[in-house]
Amino acid sequence: MALKAPEILRQFEEKFPAVELEFRSAMRNRLIDEVLNYELDAAFVSAPVSVKGLQQLPVMEERLDIY
């Protein structure tokens, strides 16, 4: 999985060094379902997310270039 670790991850690691983060990839809807079902604590997915019970926190923006 290609993950560009945003600054928020570095800050989190500095603030909570004892917390172990585990990353895995899955389809967007599956990740959202797993958060809603308390199988995951959080997920990085593309915005927008308009799901009742979830809070969206933007962590980075990327520019898409099409040639």
pLDDT 10s digits, 32-43 = 999 999 999 988
With respect to residue 14, please indicate whether it lies within any of the assigned structural domains. Answer: yes
Question: Residue 31 sits in which domain range?
Answer: 7-36
Is 10 a residue whose pLDDT tops 50? Answer: yes
* Higher pLDDT pick, 54 / 4: 54
Q: Are the C-beta atoms of residues 4 and 23 closer than 8 Å to each other?
A: no
With respect to residue 2, please indicate whether it lies within any of the assigned structural domains. Answer: no
Burial 20-36 (b: 16+ CB within 10 A, else e): eeeeeeeeeeebbeebe
Quote the number of domains for the chain. 1
Q: Are the C-beta atoms of residues 45 and 32 closer than 8 Å to each other?
A: yes
Handedness of CA 26, 30, 33, 34 (dihedral sign): negative
This prediction has a pTM of 0.70
With respect to residue 28, please indicate whether it lies within any of the assigned structural domains. Answer: yes
Closest CA to 32 of 40, 22, 24: 40
